Amino acid sequence: MTYMANLGQPVCLVGYIWYVEDTKKILVDSGGTVEQLTKNGLPAYELQTLDSGLKKLGITVNDIDLIIQTHLHLDHVALASRFPNAHVIVQKRELDFARNPHPIWEGLYDRKLFENLNFEVIDGDLRISEDINILFTPGHSPGGQSVSVKTETGTAVITGLCSILDNYNPSPLPDGKTIAALAPTIHSDLFQAYDSIARIKELADMILPIHDPTFLSKESIP
């Protein structure tokens, strides 16, 4: 998860679907499946099904208006086709790459998961409402995007890079040096990833990295 740091330390990751309620009912990302992860040799189990999560919120798949895809890696888009009334915002650079990935990343994109989605393709930042903004944050993937949400206690940013909290506030390196940010080990552009993390840190009062287990114990943010 952290490029050139924490080598050899096992890390436990979580995959989230985030629900954001504004005038619209919005999801950020649409999940992965245990089957995908185990097929790739990662030990995985399901913590909550999509339907039980929605049920807790008193909604169903039919109620979701909008899905903002941080990116199209298969562990983030697997369940998008389950939302019949949602349009799906994706960055142009992400969709172009996902449709024709570099051979080394063919395993990370599965065209059948996204080819029939009702896409709204954007290029760069986009204001969704007064309180919700999409930020173009490439580097983990060519067209990664993050979502900032104004809450009662400050701005929360759901990150568009597969990352954990240590990417944003790294522990000191073994030689005692500290570094402001650690790019994810999986990246399409190392320096863009670093810059995107710096941008998120600048804007966010709360950073919500999309694989950090911290938020498992929280029912809502803040």
What is the binding site for Zn ion (CB under 5 A)? 75, 162
Closest residue to Zn ion in the complex (CB): 162
Comparing CB distances to Zn ion, the nearer of 75 and 156 is: 75
Q: What is the DSSP string of 126-161?
A: EE-SSSEEEEE--SSSTT-EEEEEEETTEEEEE-SS
Q: Which of 199, 205, 154, 207 is nearest to 18 (CA)?
A: 207
**Shortest gap between Cβ of 120 and Zn ion (angstroms)?**
22
* Cβ-based nearer residue to Zn ion, 13 or 221: 13
**Residue closer to Zn ion, measured from CB, 75 or 94:** 75
User: Minimum CB separation from Zn ion for residue 187, in Å?
Assistant: 12
In angstroms, give the least distance from the CB of 147 to Zn ion.
15
Residue 9 vs residues 38, 62, 176: alpha-carbon distances, Å: 20, 41, 17
Question: What is the closest distance, in whole angstroms, from the C-beta atom of residue 85 to Zn ion in the complex?
Answer: 25
Q: Is 95 left (phi over 0), alpha (psi -120 to 50) or beta?
A: alpha
Helix and strand numbers (H, E) in the chain are 5, 10
Q: Which residue, 160 or 170, has its beta carbon nearer to Zn ion?
A: 160
